[in-house]
Amino acid sequence: MRMIVIFALISFFATGCTINKDLLFKSAPGFEYSAISQTTVSDYKIASNDELSIQLYPNGGERLLSISTGISSDDNNRYLNQTRNTITYRVKSSGTVELPEIGEIVLAGLTLEEAELSIEKAYSDNYHNPYVLLNVTNNRVLVFPGEAGQASVITLENKNTTVLEALALAGGVRSRGISSKVKLIRSTPEGREVYLLDLSTIRGLDEASLIVQANDIIYVSSNPEIASGYLTQITPIVSVFSSLSLLYAVIVGL
């Protein structure tokens, strides 16, 4: 029995470094998190590799208004079909988008509203009072809810999706998750920002109401499973050793 205990202790130190390997995005001691400010809740800015759906209407969108009010005509039906079959355009690494008739236009770094105005201006020589509707079609956030194997990729169908809503879509904080240590990781033109959110109290509702942006990462820190992790790895080893010890005792007793 004493040999089993000694072997278990040796195995503990040998396997201890492999426990909780599922933990991601660890912060070094003294890590300075980004401060939540007005910039944090600002509108999303278009970035490289975004997929954009662009709809262009002349005469200030008059035709679109006719469609929405139910006025039927052959022209309206044609425009409606065009709306349903919207073409998407990818933002190149240079920050530009290749559009029909006008060629390349820089959109990276602009909000959706700014990009719509920029496209309208670019088409103003070709169309009378152009009206543009623009959407990012590959808006996604990654949510790690606090337990291995439960990560989700959430498609943002609503421009105003909050951190709390994104977590809810992913199934909420898991049993191992620490709701007081939720990291919001965001890429900006200036670099990567990491915000630490405390969603464990009512006061945390303000932080939970932050609007998520495309390519955000929401990571719920996890409670380490030292005991269960160790037992999971050491139990098979101890079982084998116990069987060998029993076999040895039987052989010696013969």
Confidence label for 115 from pLDDT (cuts 50, 70 and 90): very high
Among 159-173, 184-198, 237-251, where is mean pLDDT lowest? 237-251
Whole-number Å distance between alpha carbons of 204 and 57:
43
> Helix, strand or coil for residue 114?
helix
Whole-number Å distance between alpha carbons of 248 and 5:
17
CB 86 within 8 A of CB 141: no
Provide the whole-model pTM. 0.64
Q: How far is CA 196 from CA 167, 179, 193, in A?
A: 15, 11, 10
Mean pLDDT score across all residues of the chain: 78
pLDDT of 224: 72
Residues 146 and 174 in one domain: yes
Structure letter (DSSP) for residue 18: G
Q: 145 pLDDT exceeds 50?
A: yes
Query: Domain range spanning residue 113?
Result: 51-136
If you search the block for the tokens 């300075």, which residue do you land on?
Answer: 32
Residues 77 and 149 in one domain: no
One-letter amino acid at 175 equals S
pLDDT of 251: 74
pLDDT of 94: 93
Residues 189 and 168 in one domain: yes
pLDDT tens across 1-28, in order? 555 555 555 555 554 454 556 566 777 7
Range among 6-10, 216-220, 222-226 rated most confident? 216-220
Does residue 46 sit within a domain?
no
Burial of residue 143 (number of CB atoms within 10 Å: 0-12, 13-18, 19+): buried
CB 56 within 8 A of CB 119: yes
Confidence label for 253 from pLDDT (cuts 50, 70 and 90): low
User: In this structure, what CATH number is given to the domain that contains residue 68?
Assistant: 3.30.1950.10
Residues 121 and 149 in one domain: no
pLDDT tens across 22-75, in order? 566 777 777 888 887 755 666 788 888 899 999 888 877 766 665 555 544 555
**Sheet with strand 191-197: strands edge to edge:** 152-155, 140-144, 217-222, 177-188, 191-197
pLDDT of 43: 74
| Helix or strand run (H / E) with residue 53 | strand 51-57
pLDDT of 29: 76
pLDDT of 80: 46
Does residue 189 sit within a domain?
yes
Q: 240 pLDDT exceeds 60?
A: yes
Residues 186 and 201 in one domain: yes
CB 8 within 8 A of CB 234: yes
Does residue 19 sit within a domain?
no
> Helix, strand or coil for residue 100?
coil
CA angle at 91 for the pair 82 and 183, rounded to the nearest 5°: 110
Does residue 230 sit within a domain?
no
Residues 153 and 132 in one domain: no
CB 36 within 8 A of CB 210: yes
Does residue 193 sit within a domain?
yes
Strand pairing class (131-136; 51-57):
antiparallel
Give the chain's domain count.
2
Q: What is the DSSP string of 185-242?
A: EEEETTEEEEEEE--SSGGGHHHHTPBP-TT-EEEEEE---HHHHHHHHHHHHHHHHH
Structure letter (DSSP) for residue 25: S
pLDDT of 192: 86
